[in-house]
Structure 1
Amino acid sequence: MPNWLLPENIADVLPSEARKIEDLRRKMLDTFRLYGYELVMPPLLEYVDSLLAGAGQDTELRTFKVVDQLSGRLLGLRADMTTQVARIDAHLLNRDSVTRLCYAGSVLHTRPSGLHATREPLQIGAEIYGHAGLEADAEIQELALSSVALAGFTDVRLDLCHVGILRALLADDPAARRDEAQLTCFLRAKDAPGLDEFTHNYLPATRQALLALTQLYGGIDVLGRAKEALPALPGITRALAELAALAASAIGRAEVAIDLADLRGYQYESGAMFALYVPGLPNAVARGGRYDHVGEAFGRARPATGFSLDLRELARLLPTAERKHSIRAPWGNAPELREKIADLRKAGEVVIQSMPGHDNVQDEFECDRVLVLENGNWILKNLG
């Protein structure tokens, strides 16, 4: 095997693509800062006991594990940064007030999360800690929509769900509570026949409501249908009201859809969840939701909600960036030449000095001007 081959679903990022990703990263982090989010940088690896605390089985299966040669303990290479940021809030910052944190960095997956997905996503996201009200969910949803808009996408679909509906349905049925993980698989697949057979020993009301969930997807009218099809439990009533409020706040910014069986990520989610879709990508480009209980593993449960997206996947959908106009200059150490080049760079110009005997070939830059010496002065001349 040639030594330049990389593992499956792992790839280098070449100049033009890297520039798109970096431009998006800067724009999004700058936007997060305008909302008051503080940047944190969790480590790439840590003890699995901490890294996987409250993360759920899906995250554990996606996590690479290695043995630490210093301590002999098992380390994990992060597959998601959400629990790491929750640890920072709960254990290191330990604030009593509302805390807004954001992050950006590579994560590693043992397997790709979707068709053509990379196993090394560049994850960026934002989290709010300390406020249990719907205001925090609405702000995170707004920030996620703003982030996708920064990439130039205007045709966006927002899918909403709420894990509280399933939890309320299972609360009074011990048999159903034991099967929660299997039930979510049936619901996510909308496998009504399989669900019907699997739930034959449940309470009739629970069984009927679970089967109804597989059909409760579509536009905002789904919320009205859900009120008729689902029992009027306090948890369900509250969840439907929260979904209605979040849907109303997104009208005009995205096409809103409701899917009460879309429970991806439910294992550490505790409330409203959302996913953003854009044309050209079968997978969700961003996911978010409430996860109030993750901090318990670090000794301090805090209300929490947030979102994240993969910058590499998002940038792949964008057109190739236009090459930046630049200036070609000869190589030399003459003080006047060096001073002229320094002044141009201070003014924001890209100046590329030609190495003796070589041409310049770049993906990102187009030299449309040249620096030449005329009558003892260095001046710019247009090329072509």
Structure 2
Amino acid sequence: MPVSETWLLPDGVADVLPEQAQVIEQLRRRLLESLASRGYELVYTPFIEYVESLSLLNRNTSDLDLVTFKLIDQISGRLLGVRADITPQVARIDAHVRPVEGIARYCYAATVLHTRPQGLSASRAPLQLGAELFGCKGPEADLEMADLMLSLLKQAGFEHQLHLDLGHVGIFRNLARIAGLTDSQEAELTDLYQRKAIPELAEYTQTLNLGQDFYVLGRYGNDLSTLKQQLSAQVLADPTLQQALNVLEQAQAHIQQYWPAINVGVDAAELRGYHYHTGLMFAVYGPNRAVPLAQGGRYDGIGIAFGRERAATGFSCDLYVLAQANPASDTPVMLAPLGKEPDLQAAIEQARQDGFVVIQALNEQDQQSRASQRLVHNGTAWQRQSV
């Protein structure tokens, strides 16, 4: 390969240049400070771990496994994984490293790495920011997380024309349990629901136990009132399934009451992350965006692989995406001459306290294109002049 081509970056990986890097860093600090003010404690997790930890041994995580880069540890000879999601690492901390009794809240902001982009024009190395809440089974924890996610999006500049999708995997999961479906039948139905293939669903469900209920779920999943009217009495009599419906209904009412500017959609047949989530799920979309701005939901039992089963809910987002709604900083730049004289240093320090970026120019060409003012000596004192 010619030397001129070796500097090219892989697809889905990009440099972040100074103007945008400053926007991202300011946004990261602001959002983490907001999380801290709500009791979410910041954690840093390692970039690589043994692949068993990242894959969550207690559940089917083929989706996560596919996007995880793997390599051999030259010290132990064991297989390592580069983190593709920080949530399993925080679950390990909660379950094994810092087993707090009762409710624990954590937040994080760090780069993850994916083997392939997770959406059109998405980065393979997103800067993932998120929050996790452990130790509360009730819907109040899910609602806190949804409120927190929407609050952070508002702080990031996303206030208008947002759409929130709500789902609950417990509805389908309990319906499958009542009907006694096999794993292959569950997989086939999951695919049909995700593709919204209603004609195929109608045909496939004819041979299933409670097939009409599975069809109703796909046909009326976006209208909870109609869905509850159409489901059979046998299904509605199941307390666990009824609870899942109630949680979804409660979440919809909560968002409509406290976030009236946000368009809320419900899909009881939405099975995104079916093998990962265990309850309420939510995803927020901006106008003309096919990929969520932020998403999350309940994932109880995630810590069992690390020796402690815990109720859990959380959300995450990509700071690179959120930063697109934030303008570049317009902090004024001031030029100052070289020198360590006390009066010059005092004038520079005062200018910085007044909000200027002050550069002591090395020569006449140093950063002049950025400067709007300069420090000059009038014979008795340093004063500011427009460039």
Fold equivalence (TM over 0.5):
yes
Q: Secondary structure at the match of 1:146?
A: helix
Which residue pairs with 1:38 in the alignment? 41
Q: Given the superposition, is the C-alpha separation of residues 195 and 313 from structure 1 closer, same or farther in structure 2, using an over 3 Å criterion?
A: same
Which residue pairs with 2:299 in the alignment? 291
Which amino acid is the alignment partner of residue 43 of structure 1? Answer: P
Which residue pairs with 1:166 in the alignment? 172
User: Is it true that 1:229 corresponds to 2:205 in the alignment?
Assistant: no
Contact 1:55 1:83 in 2 (8 A): no
Contact 1:176 1:202 in 2 (8 A): no
Distance 1:359 1:259 in 2: 58
State TM-score, norm by structure 1. 0.92
Show structure 1 runs of 5+ residues with no match. Answer: none
Which amino acid is the alignment partner of residue 59 of structure 1? Answer: L
Which residue pairs with 1:269 in the alignment? 277
Distance 1:278 1:110 in 2: 25
Contact 2:332 2:355 in 1 (8 A): no
Distance 2:122 2:215 in 1: 32
Which residue pairs with 1:157 in the alignment? 163
Cα deviation 1:350-382 (Å, max 9, x = unaligned): 1122221423167xxx42221001113111123
Contact 1:170 1:177 in 2 (8 A): no
Which residue pairs with 1:338 in the alignment? 345
Which amino acid is the alignment partner of residue 216 of structure 1? Answer: Y
Q: Secondary structure at the match of 2:332?
A: strand
Q: Secondary structure at the match of 1:356?
A: coil
Which residue pairs with 1:184 in the alignment? 190
User: Is it true that 1:195 corresponds to 2:198 in the alignment?
Assistant: no
Distance 1:183 1:371 in 2: 71
Q: Give 1:99 shift.
A: 0.4
Q: Secondary structure at the match of 1:179?
A: helix
Question: RMSD of the TM alignment (CA)?
Answer: 1.8
Which amino acid is the alignment partner of residue 61 of structure 2? Answer: G
Contact 1:217 1:257 in 2 (8 A): no
Which residue pairs with 2:323 in the alignment? 315
User: Is it true that 1:382 corresponds to 2:386 in the alignment?
Assistant: yes
- 1:60 paired residue among 60, 65, 68: 65
Q: Secondary structure at the match of 2:85?
A: coil
Contact 2:344 2:382 in 1 (8 A): yes
Which amino acid is the alignment partner of residue 280 of structure 1? Answer: N
Percent of aligned positions that are identical: 44
Distance 1:378 1:198 in 2: 82
Which residue pairs with 1:256 in the alignment? 264
Cα deviation 1:319-338 (Å, max 9, x = unaligned): 54252212111223333222
User: Is it true that 1:21 corresponds to 2:24 in the alignment?
Assistant: yes
Cα deviation 1:192-229 (Å, max 9, x = unaligned): 233345445421x1x222222222354xxx11011012
Contact 1:161 1:258 in 2 (8 A): yes
User: Is it true that 1:135 corresponds to 2:140 in the alignment?
Assistant: yes
Contact 2:164 2:283 in 1 (8 A): yes
Cα deviation 1:12-62 (Å, max 9, x = unaligned): 111222122212211111111111110011111100011111471111101
Q: Give 1:295 shift.
A: 0.9
Higher mean C-alpha displacement, 257-266 vs 189-198: 189-198
- 2:289 paired residue among 274, 277, 281: 281
User: Is it true that 1:371 corresponds to 2:375 in the alignment?
Assistant: yes
Q: Secondary structure at the match of 2:96?
A: helix
Give 1:55-94 correspondences, 5 Å limit: 56-94=61-99
Which amino acid is the alignment partner of residue 264 of structure 2? Answer: V
Q: Give 1:178 shift.
A: 4.2
Higher mean C-alpha displacement, 13-22 vs 298-307: 13-22
Contact 2:331 2:356 in 1 (8 A): no
Show structure 2 runs of 5+ residues with no match. Answer: none
Contact 1:16 1:320 in 2 (8 A): no
- 2:359 paired residue among 341, 352, 360: 352
Distance 2:329 2:109 in 1: 25
Distance 1:10 1:106 in 2: 12
Contact 1:106 1:123 in 2 (8 A): yes
State TM-score, norm by structure 2. 0.91
Contact 2:23 2:329 in 1 (8 A): no
Higher mean C-alpha displacement, 162-171 vs 307-316: 307-316
Q: Given the superposition, is the C-alpha separation of residues 244 and 361 from structure 1 closer, same or farther in structure 2, using an over 3 Å criterion?
A: farther
Contact 1:276 1:286 in 2 (8 A): yes
Contact 2:86 2:112 in 1 (8 A): yes
Contact 1:217 1:260 in 2 (8 A): yes
Q: Give 1:177 shift.
A: 4.1
Distance 1:271 1:162 in 2: 5
